[in-house]
Amino acid sequence: MKKIKQTQELKRSYYRAIYPGTFDPITNGHIDLITRALSTFDEVIILIAHSSKNPIFSSSERQALVQKCFKNDPRIKVEVIKGLLADYAKKQGINVVLRGLRAISDFEYEFQMATMNKRLHPELETFFLMSSENNFFVNASLVKEVISHGGDVSSLVPLHVEKSLKEKLC
């Protein structure tokens, strides 16, 4: 009887995760990761961070580009974050951060961030998803470089992102 009650309680749980990044712009690699995460989490909150990378899109432009990718899916929320990720997670009562790992070279940076986030918010766990084989080489900088030289990025970003990139860079 106790076990049945515990199972029912588990079923009632609602799992939320945050997926932070610069998203300048969102690529098919990010979309693949978010879509796969939804098989485990009930809700994914995509957090657009202010960045020292000098993004070509403003934070509200990046937010709009991300929102358009998921506009019909109530399981996805898109927000802009100004302060620390750990503070946002604490405030919202969220204990899971999602990050993607594309290659071994991502590991050291991700390990440092996960450790720092845990230091700031001890209940915060970072869950890593491996990039799928189609996307392991993709990153936003490469996409921007290729398109600025007239290359084809149609298999790397959604159509509306490609159009916005062309407006900015071509």
User: Site residues (CB under 6 A) for ligand COA?
Assistant: 20-22, 24, 27, 29-30, 33, 49, 51, 53, 84-86, 100, 102, 113, 116-117, 131, 135, 138-141
Q: What is the smallest separation between the CB atom of 60 and ligand COA, expressed in angstroms?
A: 16
Residue located via tokens 């657009």:
48
Nearer to ligand COA, 51 or 92 (CB): 51
Nearer to ligand COA, 75 or 102 (CB): 102
Nearer to ligand COA, 7 or 130 (CB): 130
Question: Which single residue brings its beta carbon nearest to ligand COA?
Answer: 29
Nearer to ligand COA, 6 or 103 (CB): 103
User: What backbone phi and psi angles, to 5 degrees, belong to 105?
Assistant: -60, -25
Amino acid at 103: A
Q: What is the smallest separation between the CB atom of 116 and ligand COA, expressed in angstroms?
A: 4
Instruction: Give the whole-angstrom CA distance, residue 134 versus residue 50.
Output: 28
In angstroms, what CA-CA distances link 99 with 20, 69, 88? 8, 19, 16
Q: What is the smallest separation between the CB atom of 8 and ligand COA, expressed in angstroms?
A: 35
Nearer to ligand COA, 43 or 106 (CB): 106
User: What backbone phi and psi angles, to 5 degrees, belong to 39?
Assistant: -80, -15
Secondary structure (3-state) at 73: coil
Q: What is the smallest separation between the CB atom of 19 and ligand COA, expressed in angstroms?
A: 9
Amino acid at 81: I
Q: What is the smallest separation between the CB atom of 75 and ligand COA, expressed in angstroms?
A: 18
For the beta sheet containing 96-101, the strands, ordered from the edge strand earlier in sequence to the opposite edge, are 76-81, 43-49, 16-21, 96-101, 125-130
